[in-house]
A and B are shown apart, each in its own frame.
Chain A
Amino acid sequence: DQQVKQNSPSLSVQEGRISILNCDYTNSMFDYFLWYKKYPAEGPTFLISISSIKDKNEDGRFTVFLNKSAKHLSLHIVPSQPGDSAVYFCAAKDNYGQNFVFGPGTRLSVLP
């Protein structure tokens, strides 16, 4: 039973447009969330985080939105670039938990 779900296995977006990657979670105790990006043959690298005391966090072209009532977060990439093509994982943790729980990932393809 997955506590962190990424229901879209893949997403294709045109270069320059917005990419929106979604993540849903079931544990209402989760209060900290991370997004990672993974290129083929490389390990995941940390991208952006958000705490449950916020509903938005922005870093350059990347913005994460958190909707606690819906137990939903999303990662927006604007504008999308071909170099953004990768697998994106969201991960969540509660204040008393020792470890982050990861979703299965969404493969983003940005088409030139």
Chain B
Amino acid sequence: ETGVTQTPRHLVMGMTNKKSLKCEQHLGHNAMYWYKQSAKKPLELMFVYNFKEQTENNSVPSRFSPECPNSSHLFLHLHTLQPEDSALYLCASSQEQGTNQPQHFGDGTRLSIL
């Protein structure tokens, strides 16, 4: 068990659909992250929540909307996505943002936009 669980693992959606990605961590961490991984590109940080407060929005389009109801759960709400949004979306957690402690990653959601 990775300690960080993401659902669904795969998602195919049309550009007009609304869907949500879910992430849950069982590690007692206080920081949670959303990353986008496109082919042959570095991991792209999207959002960070530290102690349930959003501390980072890395110029992400408003069609992506994060939600962090508590330290263990993180959502990414998707609406009116574009084909270029097709990618692997990774959730991660760490003890606290800003420390040198490594992040623990989930296995990702492979998103395909038709």
A65 close to chain B: CB less than 8 A:
no
Is the beta-carbon distance between A89 and B43 smaller than 8 angstroms? yes
Residues of B within 8 A of A104 (CB): 40-42
B20 close to chain A: CB less than 8 A:
no
Residues of B within 8 A of A77 (CB): none
For chain B, give the interface size range.
20 to 34
A43 to B4, CA, bound (A): 9
Interface of B is mostly: loop
Is the beta-carbon distance between B102 and A49 smaller than 8 angstroms? yes
B15 close to chain A: CB less than 8 A:
no
6 A-B pairs with the lowest CB-CB distances in the bound complex, closest first: A43-B105, A46-B102, A102-B43, A32-B100, A102-B42, A104-B42
CB<8 Å pairs between A and B, sample of 9: A2-B42, A43-B108, A46-B102, A46-B103, A98-B56, A98-B98, A102-B42, A103-B42, A105-B42
Q: Which residues from chain B sit less than 8 Å from chain A, CB to CB?
A: 2, 4, 6, 33, 40-43, 45, 48, 55-56, 90, 92, 97-98, 100, 102-108
Given contacts A49-B102, A98-B97, 10 further A-B contacts (CB under 8 A): A41-B107, A43-B2, A43-B90, A43-B105, A44-B43, A46-B103, A99-B33, A103-B42, A104-B42, A105-B42
